[in-house]
Amino acid sequence: MVSGRPPRKVHHILPLPRLDVEKAPPFGREVAQEVEFLIELMDLKPDEEILDVASGAGRHALELARREFSGVTALDLSDQLLGIGRRCAETLGLTVEFVKGDARKPVATERFDAALLLGGGAFGLQEADRENYAILDATFAALKPGGRLALSAMNLLHLIRHRQDLSGFDPQTNFLTTTERVQIEGDVVEDLPLHERYYVLPGLRNDLGRVGFRNIMGFGADAGRFSSRAITTDDPEILVYAVKPKS
């Protein structure tokens, strides 16, 4: 594995939180750090409409709600993960709109002020690039003019430098195919096929620019370590900020 984290497709799975929130953030210090940085980077306001795309159980959406953001929507295809998110919200008295939907299809048209596409929930995990493009198109459509996007993607340079076994990597497409045994919830264990797309920043700029995004910036990132640092070969992820033009 590239790192000790669970696979990208499921690492955002969320158990019911601990309620001793005075000692630690209920969704983990990593999520709290990421959300804190994203609020600053994207200039998020508590009354804005924010879409968490392919949210899984909605860790980032719930953390935003915990910080009194009132218009947060979490979108995912998994009934199981959405159910976990709803139970967490109910347990902690938080308000998040959980919506079942495909990230490749617009959930709305020009409704949201900001969108999060984080943690490998969908983007970069599709079978072909055209499906990853569809996610960008759908997210772009859901944003208001002037809306902001934060997106994370797997860093190709980190993969090449740090992974010893590249037998599942296709250099013609930059896809890595593996299988991982993962504990999903409780005692449930599944063997999950992982089809991950790896990126470099120029390629992400081209993809986002094709959709229509502008003011594109990229940073080095890892789980719980979001910052404005430059991308290096030691960063497992690339964090991208982009804006939908106002006209």
Tell me whether residue 20 is in a domain.
no
The reply to whether 137 falls in a domain is: yes
pLDDT digits (tens, 9 = 90+) for 50-98: 999 999 889 999 999 999 999 999 999 989 889 989 999 999 999 999 9
> What is the pLDDT, as a whole number, of residue 6?
37
Mean pLDDT of 139-159: 97
* Least confidently predicted of 87-96, 97-106, 177-186: 177-186
User: Is 101 part of any domain?
Assistant: yes
Query: Is the pLDDT assigned to residue 129 strictly greater than 80?
Result: yes
Q: Is 84 left (phi over 0), alpha (psi -120 to 50) or beta?
A: alpha
Q: Is residue 7 part of a domain?
A: no
Contacts (Cβ under 8 Å, ≥6 apart) of 162:
2, 233, 234
207-228 mean pLDDT: 96
Residue 96 belongs to some domain of the structure: yes
User: Which neighbouring-strand residues pair with 152?
Assistant: 239
**Which one, of 197, 192, 217, lies nearest residue 132 by Cα?**
197
Based on the structure, what is the number of domains in the chain? 1
Does residue 223 fall inside a structural domain? yes
Burial class (CB in 10 A: 0-12, 13-18, 19+), 246: exposed
Instruction: Confirm whether 184 is domain-assigned.
Output: yes
CATH of the domain at 227: 3.40.50.150
Q: What is the pLDDT of residues 218-243, one digit of tens each?
A: 999 999 999 999 999 999 999 999 99
Q: What domain range includes position 116? A: 29-243
Instruction: Determine the 3-state secondary structure of 148 from DSSP.
Output: strand
Q: Are strands 169-170 and 175-183 parallel, antiparallel or unpaired?
A: antiparallel
